[in-house]
Every structure is written in C-alpha cells, then in structure tokens.
Amino acid sequence: MDTILKPLYYAVSWIIVQFHSFFSLIFDPNSGAAWGLSIVSLVVLIRICLIPLFVKQIKATRNMQALQPKMKAIQERYKSDKQRQSEEMMKLYKESGTNPLSSCLPILAQSPFFISLYQVLSHIAQNKTVGVIDPTLLASAQKAHIFGAPLAAKFMDTASKIQSLGASVTDVRVVTVIMIVLMSASQFYTQRQLMTKNVDLTVKTPFMQQQKMLMYVFPVMFAVFGINFPVGVLVYWLTTNVWTMGQQMYVIRRNPTPGSKAFTERQERLRASGKLVESPAEVEAKKAAEEARQNRQQPKRQTKAKRQTGAGTGAAAPSGATRNRTRASSSSDSAAASQDSTATQDEGKGGTPAKGGAASGSRNTKSGQRKGQQRPKHPSKK
C-alpha cells in the first residue's frame, strides 16, 4: 500500500508543510496551533475541491428518493427472478439518469487523503521521515501538542510510547475521548438534520428506513474506530464533519427537497418577504379554506345538570302520550259496547232471537270499526 499511495504521501505532506510555513508566521513553529491549523486547512482545501461531487451527491440522493416507489414495485413484481429484477433496476437507473454510487462519491474521494494523512502521522509517531517532511520538520511535528496531546498519539498507545512523545496518558485519553464524542455527535446531527428536514415526508420508502439506520450506525462506527486514530487524524475527521454539517445546512436552507419540512419553511420565508408570487387560484383556495375554518362553529358542551334535565323532559313526553292513547282507546271501547247493547235491545223488542241479534251486533260492531262495506240483510228479515 505504501508503494501505491506514496505519491499521495508526498502530496499530503507537501500541503501540510506549506500551510505550516504560513501559520509559523503567526504562531510558534513547534506549537500545536501551527500544525493543527495546517491539518484543518488541508481539510478545507480538499472539501472545496470536492464541492462538485457534493452537488452530484445531493442530486443522486434526491433521485434515489423519487425512484423508491418504482424500485419497490419492481422488487415485488420480479421477486422470484433476481436476474430480471437486476435488469429492470439498471434500466430504471439508465432512464432516470441516476447513479446509485454518486451518493458515495465524496466519501470515496476523501478516502485516499484520509489514509495518506494517517500514514504520515504514523511515520511521525515512529520518528520516520515521510514525503517532504525532513528530520527538522519531523522533530517540530513531534513537539506539537493539542491541549497537551501529541498529534501522533492514540488512545490505545502505551504509557511508555506516550511519554516518549512528551505527554501523559491522562492528557492523551481525555483529549481523544472528547474529540471522539464531538466527532460522533456531529455525524449524528448531520444525518438527523437530513432525515428530519430534507426528506419528502409524503412518500414512505425503504430508503428512509436505511437512512434512519445509518443515523445511528455511523456515530457508533466513529466511536469504535476513533480510539485507534492519532490525534491529528481526529482533528482531520472532526473538521470534515463540521464542514459537512455546515455545508448541508446551507443546501437545505437554500435548495431543499420538494415536499420536505425545509421546503415548506423556505416557501413561508419567500412568501413573507414577497419573493414568492402565487397564482390567483391558489390564493382564493387558501382564503376559502381559512374562512371555512374560522366560520365553523363547534357545538357547545352542556353541563351535567342540563343534560340530566333534557333527558328527564324527553322521557316524560312518551309517558304522557301513552296515557292519552290509553284514554282514547278506553273511550272508543266504551262507545262500541254501548252501541252493541242498544242494538241488542232493539232487536229483542222486534222479536229477533237474542243469539242471532248478538251475532249480528257483533258483526256490525266489527264492520263499523273496520269502516268496510256491510253485508246486506236476508230478505226474510225485512
């Protein structure tokens, strides 16, 4: 690996030495400020060069979010044919102009510089020259401390090795732990900011679940691997995370994903400043919806006493009506009985048998109640 990355060793060490020469005009050449700021400047220079790749990463991430429903449909349709599924996926990527690897380009591009810086600091810890760092610069770098921790020291280094670099175990471990915590926290906040503000909330896709998982996985990875990083590498990676967080905040504020929370906030800011001109139809629709919301009246809640009073009144009405119906029914029955008795007496006076008269009266009573057509009398009874 040293043979392959040797040109990068020279490039990274040369950039650090040039920045060190500049900061030596302000600070002590052997101080941690001069060497630490040189590493920070190296990060800034690399990230400025990677801005075009970062823009591609943002576009690729948005395209992947938009394609998630179609990708899920392809997986469901060809779940038993993996080859056809892969072919359809590639066809979808080609039609939409999306490259899944574009979202990883900034990390992949930084990896060689990260490995080169790690090896340069390792050589300094082992008192070996590397790249353009000669013995004079090597001795100066070994004397550089950041809050009492040498640039080349690690959390897992032995006490004898740390003492050879002119520091104590306590200082090294306290500084490395604080930097690892800051590094992990900045990574978590950056990923959480992306998930809560710059994701289209109207579409629920597996991509969102993956991003949510990475929000917790990445900080743990940084914490685990960070104990094996030299202090100078921790400075490099912490600066990278802070740069990524600030760059992402700027992009989310100025160019958010449509449908996301950040997009709604940006529309409100533009509307408040008068820079967003809406169509008359949208204005009328929002005005009508607001008026309907204001005019809508909620039913007033009654007290317990009123509810009980209303229930008692409602229960009394049916009982009164029932009593009235009962009285009317009794009256009608009494009238019918009196009519039957009168008819029986009249027929008895006319010499008609009581049995027949009772039957006839009964039939007449029933026919009168039904209001139907009466049966004509027999001719012998006339």
> At 336, is the pLDDT very low, low, confident or very high (cuts 50, 70, 90)?
very low
Bigger pLDDT: 331 or 154? Answer: 154
Average confidence score pLDDT of the chain = 74
Evaluate whether 93 touches 99 at the Cβ level (below 8 Å).
Answer: yes
Q: What is the dihedral of CA 110, 116, 117, 122, to 10 degrees?
A: 150
pLDDT in the model for residue 282: 61
Rounded CA gap, 19 and 254, in Å?
32
Q: End-to-end CA distance of the chain, in Å? A: 138
**φ, ψ dihedrals at 351, nearest 5°:** 85, 15
Band of pLDDT at residue 75, cut at 50, 70 and 90:
confident
pLDDT at site 350? 46
Give the residue-averaged pLDDT of 356-374: 48
pTM equals 0.62
Distance CA 119, CA 175 (A): 21
Task: Give the per-residue pLDDT at 173.
Answer: 92
Confidence of residue 311 (pLDDT cuts 50, 70, 90): low
Least confident range of 104-118, 185-199, 240-254, 354-368: 354-368
Who has greater pLDDT, 231 or 5?
Answer: 231
pLDDT at 216 over 60: yes
Q: Is the pLDDT of residue 233 over 90?
A: no
User: Above pLDDT 90, what percent of the chain?
Assistant: 12
Residue 337 has pLDDT above 50, yes or no: no
- Residue-level pLDDT at 205: 54
Two tokens at 255? Answer: 């160019």
